[in-house]
Amino acid sequence: MSAPALFDLPAPARAAAVPATFRRSGITVLSYGLGADSTAILLMFLTAPEKYGLRADLSDLVVVHAVTGDEWPDSLSYVDRLVLPLLCRARVRLVQIARGGPEDADGVVVLDDSRQPRRIFPQGPWRLSDELRAAGTVPQIARGKRTCSIKFKGWCLDAWAAAEFGMSSFRRVIGYHAGEMDRADKDTAIQRELNDEAGRTICEPYYPLIHTRMKRAAVEAYVLKRLGEKIRKSYCAQCPFSGVCASRDAHEERLRAHPHIAADVLRMEFVSQSLNERVALYGTKSLRKRLTQDGRNTAVLDAFELSLMQAPYAVYEVRRMYFAARTDDCRQWHGKTCRSPRWWCREPRTETCRADHPAGGFAPWCSGAEGCRGQTAKGQAWRSVRTVFEGSRAEAQAYVRTLAGEHGMTLERGEHSGIERAHYMTAGDSYPTAFAYLVAAPAGVRDKQRPKFEERFTQLTGRDGTVGTPVRELPEPGPKRRTGGTVLIRRAKTIGSVTLIA
C-alpha cells in the first residue's frame, strides 16, 4: 500500500537492497499520542478510510499508544469518553504498550490489544517519572534529542513493530501538522537511513495532516466539530517543553486543576536542583519560580510545601568531577579512542606552539613548554551520589548544619533555587576539577557512582572517601543485561482492575 506523495525529498545515496523475504504487510500503524493531531487523523480515518488508502472496514489499521505513565488525567478521560467508543464501534485494533523496566532487557509490555478497548491505561510497570525520581533529575535534551521520548515512546514502538511485522514493511503514520514540515522532513530522512542500513523497507512514513495542509488551528477546530468538546494538549506533566506544547497560562491552569500532580512535579524539580543547581525543569529557570510570580498558584505552592513536609528525607553527599575535554589535535592524531595520551591531548596547543613546533608525519612534537599550553576546556562529568542520613526534613537539615560545623564546611544557598548546601570542596577555574557538598532533599534517589570514581576522585583531589558515612553499600555492578538483538515482548492480563504481567 502506498501513501500519496507529500513533498519532495532528496533521494538516498544508494537504493536499499530488497531481500527475497521482503513483502508489504498492507498494514497502517498510527502512533497515537492522545493529542489533537493524532486524534484528528484517527477521526479522518474513521470517516473516510478509503480516501487515505485504508480498507472500508479498517481491518488494516492498527492504532498503537505508548504509555509513559505521566499523562494528564483529563487527556485520559477525554479519550476514554469520546474516542474509544468510536474505535469500539468500528472495531479498530488498539494496542497499548509500555516499557517493562529501566533496562532494554526488561522488554516491552503489551498492556492491552483489543478491538473493544475499555480504557486508556494510565501507566505500565515502569513510568518515566519512576526513572527520573530514581536518578534525581528532570527530563533533559541530549545532543538535540528528546531522550525521554525516544526511550519511552520511540523505542517501545519500534520494538513492538519489529515483533509484530518481522521482515514485512508497514505504513507508519505520525501526526505532524502542516506547520511542522521541518520535523516531518527530518523524520522521513531518518527513516530512509534506517531502511537503507537494514537493506529493506522497514516502514514508509506518512503524514496525513501535511498531505491535507492542516495546521494546528484547523486540527483543533476539526476535532472540536467532530467530538463536540475541545481537546487538551497531550504531554507528560513534567515535560520541559510545557512552554511550547502548551502556553504558560494554559499549563499553569492545568497545574491548578491538579494540585497533587503539580506538587509531584515541583518536588521532582526540587530534588533535581538539590543535586545540581543548574538542572531545573526549564534549564536554570524553575517551574517553582514561574508559579510564584502568579498569585493564582497559591494552592499549588501550598500543596508542594505540604508534600515536602510529609516526605521522608535524606542527606545526599554529591561529588562531581569534570575532566578536561579532548583537543582537536588528539582527535586528529589518535582517532575515536586515545590510548597513548600526550599533554596536547587535553591542553590545546597555542599558535606559538604551532609555529615553533609544526606537526611531523606522525603527531605534533613538543615537550609542553610554558608558552605552548593553552586553556583546557570542560569535558566529561562524573557524579557520585551517596545517601549519608535518612530521617525527617527537620532532622536532615539539622544533620547538614551539624556536619558543616564539625568539618568547617561553607553553608551556601543556590543562586537559582535558594536550596541550602554545605560545601567542602569548590570547583577550580581550569580542568580537570572537582567539587562536593551535602544537601538535604526528599528521599528516593538511587545511590550511584562509576566503579572507578573513588580512585579517580582521590587522584584528582587527594581526598579519600566521603565526609559523611553512607547508610548503605553501593550495589555490586551486575553483568550487562542484553536483549540479544530481539526485545522481549510480554503480554499483560487484566483481571477486574488488576493488571498482571507474565
What pLDDT is stored for residue 23 in this prediction?
A: 65
| CA atoms of 126 and 66, how far apart (whole Å) | 12
Question: Does residue 473 register a pLDDT over 60?
Answer: yes
- Give Cα 385 distance to the centre of its chain: 21
Measure the CA–CA gap between 280 and 267, rounded to whole angstroms. Answer: 11
Give the three-class secondary structure for 91. coil
Contacts for 337-341: CB closer than 8 Å, 24+ residues apart: none
User: Is the model more confident about 225 or about 482?
Assistant: 225
Q: What is the DSSP string of 436-461?
A: EEEEEEES-PPPB--TTHHHHHHHHH
From CA 115, how far away is CA 96, in angstroms rounded?
12
- DSSP label of 52: G
pLDDT band at 501 (very low <50, low <70, confident <90, very high): low
Most confident of 76-80, 424-428, 463-467: 76-80
Question: How many CB atoms are located within 10 Å of the residue 242 CB?
Answer: 24
Mean pLDDT score of the chain: 91
CA-based nearest residue to 296, from 351, 251, 236, 349: 251
pLDDT recorded at residue 493: 78
Q: Which residue has the higher pLDDT, 125 or 370?
A: 125
> Residue 16 — very low, low, confident or very high, per pLDDT cuts 50/70/90?
very low
E runs forming strands in 325-370: none
pLDDT band at 244 (very low <50, low <70, confident <90, very high): low
Alpha-carbon distance 137 to 289, whole Å?
Answer: 17
Burial tier of 2 (Cβ tally within 10 Å: 0-12, 13-18, 19+): exposed
Contact 106, 130 (CB under 8 A): no
What's the mean pLDDT in 58-69? 97
Output the CA–CA distances (angstroms, integers) from residue 127 to 52, 67, 70, 245, 383, in the order listed: 34, 8, 7, 20, 24
Give the containing element (helix H, strand E) for 489. strand 489-495
Beta bridge partners of 203: 170
Q: 374-397: per-residue pLDDT in tens?
A: 999 999 999 999 999 999 999 999
Q: Return the residue matching grid coordinates 475499555.
A: 118
